[in-house]
Chains A and B, each alone.
Chain A
Amino acid sequence: MAKYRIEFERDKCIGARSCNEECPDNWEMKDDGKSDCSTKDIEEDQLECNMNAAKACPVNAIHIKNTENGEKLI
């Protein structure tokens, strides 16, 4: 199991593209004008990039949880 899990409330996404700007390796814009991530299960080396995407999200739709201890990082 990956160390971190992304929970994305896609219905809240307003298509600002901030996440894609911060973390293009995992976030991309889809044809419906909303963003989505390629993988929800991430490891330590992918954390910073995805945390930046979550912090930049204008509607707080991106959450990241530590799967080992259940801690909600954002």
Chain B
Amino acid sequence: MALYMCPECGDESKEPGRCPGCDKLREVKHVTKPFGPLMAEHRVIEKGVAMLAKEAQRLQENKDIDNVFIVKIIDFFRIYADKCHHGKEEDILFARLKDKDIPKDREDMMNGLIDDHKKARQLIGELEKAGQKNDADTAAGMMKELSELYPDHIDREDNHFFIPVMDHFTDDEKYCMIEEFNDFDRKQIHDKYRQVAEDMEKEMSDKA
């Protein structure tokens, strides 16, 4: 997550500590930026957004609801886009920023981004209900709204928020944030499959 360099001889290492050659304390040369993983996740979310737009268009043309698609896309947006991606933003990046003295315009932008997350959750909930009722018109409407909400949201984060707010963090804080992201992600897979196991147990006991 960081590259260290001896200020004396220039020897580089992924580990901090003293240079074995000249015994000088290595300094941070490059640190991985926390916006990297978040933006890379955007590139994946954009694939889901494109699918939503395409499916909304298809539904508007022939109204034949595809519940398998709806279940899969809801899982993608709930687990990946919301729990994993928005979770890291809200619980780590935004939470750390709230501890800083950030300018009002950045704070307003951050609050707007949090509002988008809430809106996305609401739309996903509505999409799920529409799927359960085989309501193609409402499902198409929710998909269209989501496919319009995300590109604007992603553009604001990628081009106007993530990079400037890095100025509020030291290299050590950025390093810690990446570690927190990694821990957060590791937890998600366990939470996801614990829930799957519990749901399956319930379904099996209901069948018995």
Starting from the known contacts A21-B36, A56-B40, 12 additional A-B residue pairs (CB-CB under 8 Å) come to: A16-B32, A17-B3, A18-B36, A18-B40, A20-B3, A29-B29, A56-B36, A56-B37, A57-B40, A58-B36, A58-B40, A58-B43
Docked Cα-Cα span, A60 to B158, in Å, equals: 13
Q: Are A60 and B43 in contact (CB under 8 A)?
A: yes
Please report which residues of chain B, range 8-56, place their CB below 8 angstroms from some CB of chain A when the two chains form the complex.
14, 29-33, 35-40, 42-43
List chain B residues, Cβ under 8 A from A17: 3, 30-33, 36
**Residues of A participating in the B interface, judged by any CB pair closer than 8 Å:** 14-18, 20-21, 24, 29, 55-60
Q: Collect the chain A residues with CB atoms within 8 Å of residue B35's CB.
A: 16, 58
Q: Which 8 A-B pairs have the closest CB atoms?
A: A58-B39, A16-B36, A18-B36, A17-B32, A16-B33, A29-B30, A58-B40, A58-B36
Assess whether B39 is in contact with A21, with CB atoms less than 8 Å apart: no
- A20 CA to B178 CA in the complex, in Å? 14
Q: A14-B163, A17-B33, A24-B14 are in contact. Are A55 and B40 (CB under 8 A)?
A: yes
B1 within 8 A of partner (CB)? yes
Indicate the member of A15, A18, A55, A60 with the most B CB atoms within 10 Å: A18
Within the complex, what minimum Cβ distance (angstroms) separates B121 from chain A?
24
